[in-house]
Amino acid sequence: MSWWFTKLIQQLNRMMYMAGGVALFILLYVWSVLSASKTVEVPLEARIPEHPLFSLAEHSVYRFSHDLVAQVDHDVLGYVFSTQEWYWLKGLSLISQCLLWGVVVIGLLALTSAPIRRYGFSMVLMAAVVLNSRVFDLDNQASIHPWWALFLIIMPMLAVYVDIKKQLPMRPGQRLALIAYASQTGSAKRLAEQLHETAQSLLDVRCVSQLTTQQLLSYQKVFFVVSTQGNGDAPDTAHSFLRDIKKQTKSNVDTEFSVLALGDRTYNTFCAFGHQLTDLLRQKGFKLALPTQEVDRMDVSAVDHWWQQICGRLGIVSDTVSMQYDTFTVVSNECLNPMQTHRHVHRIRLYCSGARYRAGDLLAVQADETNEPERLYSIASYEKDYVELLVRRHLRSDGHVGLVSGRLSAMESGDLVKASIREHEAFHLVDDVPLIMIGAGTGLAPFVGFLKQKQAWQSQTPSWLIFGEQYAQYDDYFSHDLKALKHSGVLTRMDSAWSRPDGDYVQTLLKRHQAEVRQWLAQGAHIYLCGSREGFGNEVCHTLQQILSDTYFETRLHTDLY
Ligand SMILES: Cc1cc2nc3c(=O)[nH]c(=O)nc-3n(C[C@H](O)[C@H](O)[C@H](O)COP(=O)(O)O)c2cc1C
């Protein structure tokens, strides 16, 4: 109900300005025609001035051509201009015209900015009416009183000034509004950029990792789009920002804020970071403009509800928010472990012209059914326009096949998929350093991308892959590609842990090779961990915590656990 009401008011508001502008134009036009028709034609020797704003309406003007002296008749009133006065009038006429064209230019510029567009529109309109009228006409048949003309120009300018003052009470040097995002797997980033596009140039957009408290305070309003990671934690990109905010001591903070908290209701710590951020900012004196909006698995209706309130406050009209996806075409789909009874893994190759990404990024695939959240898959390639995925056909406990994984694994060449690339900043390669990649199951995917990116770099640093799966004879995915990468020298070491029947797990391998792991770290290696959180992720993290020093655990470990 309230959403429809807001929309209705916005539309009425928009239409009112348009209708008012058009009505005013028609009124002025009719008036100018009627007044012009009343003007009495007087046979004149010559006329002055040529284009004055302060036109001598309703006056008959004469100029004695030889000595440049002019006389104005108005019923009984007569006036003789001196030569000097005549030049003054000419000058004034020139200034008045420049002024009006200036108003037209400013008005046109104002049209590009949403909140003052309506005033830009009326400024251009008014200036055009005055320029078009007979005020400056060579025949001197002025139809608009000069003071009225001035009033018409000043009023919209005043309206712009008052409106800007009212809506944006800004301190000198203070900027209007910012969308600040903190994202782990790219969804908050993508959403923030999309919202920024709908608000045109009115707002800035920036990752919190590139934001200091000082910069934050320079904005009048800040809208945060943040996700929650791990177990109620902040995304990695938010850590330095949080440290900076905690140090802020300024007492009179003018900046208002609101938080859009992305999360997943299946976690006990639903949207925990969004709420933590709200509490912290309030403690530090920032003013809460709108209550924190929780978003369960990218539910766009919740996003839209929040965004429309913000647009209302900024005086802009925005279309309903919806996630934007690109169309990918299936090039091939191959089952990599057909001998497995279930747990089939598919290698799916997709094409989308212009698709660009870095190794470690994700592909968000739209679910066909409404209210179903999108699914994220690690990209297993490093190639322009092409994306490869490793998709496990998910069998639920009730025996049904997972909605998106089932649809993807049944796809044939030429089928279309709606998807979008999500930047996974915390899981990109950090320069060309030695790599230890630890993955289980489809968690192998990003490492294929890493190795191909290293190959493209002609990397000289070593790479070690530790991979865990069930059966050596069925689940040795990508063995062909991995052999080629080993042959080319990019993959320098590979260890596999087969849980059946060997009972070998990745964490067992890590413990066995812990001395070498430490040696690699001493040589600058970074560790990347990818796979399911339950079981694999938690176990491996626990083992790494035992093997590594705290500093290495915090600074050298990158995780993509789902
Ligand atoms: C490893 C992992 C841990 C997560 N932990 C939480 C959590 O504790 N609470 C929550 O509400 N959502 C959690 N989520 C869900 C994310 O917040 C949600 O998917 C969000 O849309 C991701 O946004 P991002 O891509 O910008 O990081 C988690 C997601 C992942 C992948």
Residues with CB under 6 A from ligand 1: 183-188, 227-232, 235, 262-264, 267, 269-272, 298, 533, 561-562
pLDDT tens across 467-479, in order?
999 999 999 988 9
DSSP 503: -
Distance (angstroms) between ligand 1 centre and the Cα of 191 equals 14
Atom of ligand 1 nearest to the CA of 270: 11
Among protein residues, the one whose CA lies closest to atom 7 of ligand 1: 232
Distance (angstroms) between ligand 1 centre and the Cα of 229 equals 5
Q: For the CA atoms of 535, 538, 542, 543, what is the dihedral angle to 10 degrees? A: 50
Amino acid at 397: S
Distance (angstroms) between ligand 1 centre and the Cα of 310 equals 24
Task: Quote the pLDDT of residue 399.
Answer: 83
Among protein residues, the one whose CA lies closest to atom 31 of ligand 1: 562
Burial class (CB in 10 A: 0-12, 13-18, 19+), 455: middle
Mutate to test the pocket of ligand 1, among 228, 265, 270 (most ligand atoms within 8 A of CB): 228
pLDDT band, very low/low/confident/very high, at 232 (cuts 50, 70, 90): very high
Domains of the chain: 3-36+58-167 (no CATH), 177-314 (3.40.50.360), 326-422 (2.40.30.10), 435-561 (3.40.50.80)
Mutate to test the pocket of ligand 1, among 185, 189, 259 (most ligand atoms within 8 A of CB): 185
Atom of ligand 1 nearest to the CA of 533: 1
Distance (angstroms) between ligand 1 centre and the Cα of 306 equals 19
- Record the pTM: 0.69
Among 171-175, 211-215, 289-293, which is the least confidently predicted range? 171-175
User: Is the pLDDT higher at 50 or at 33?
Assistant: 33
Token pair for 303:
């996003």
Please say whether the beta carbons of 336 and 448 come within 8 A: no
pLDDT tens across 141-180, in order?
445 566 766 776 777 677 666 655 554 444 555 578 999 9
| 251 backbone dihedrals φ, ψ, rounded to 5° | -95, -45
Output the CA–CA distances (angstroms, integers) from residue 320 to 158, 198, 226, 304, 306, in the order listed: 33, 10, 20, 6, 11
Task: Quote the pLDDT of residue 202.
Answer: 73
Among protein residues, the one whose CA lies closest to atom 29 of ligand 1: 229
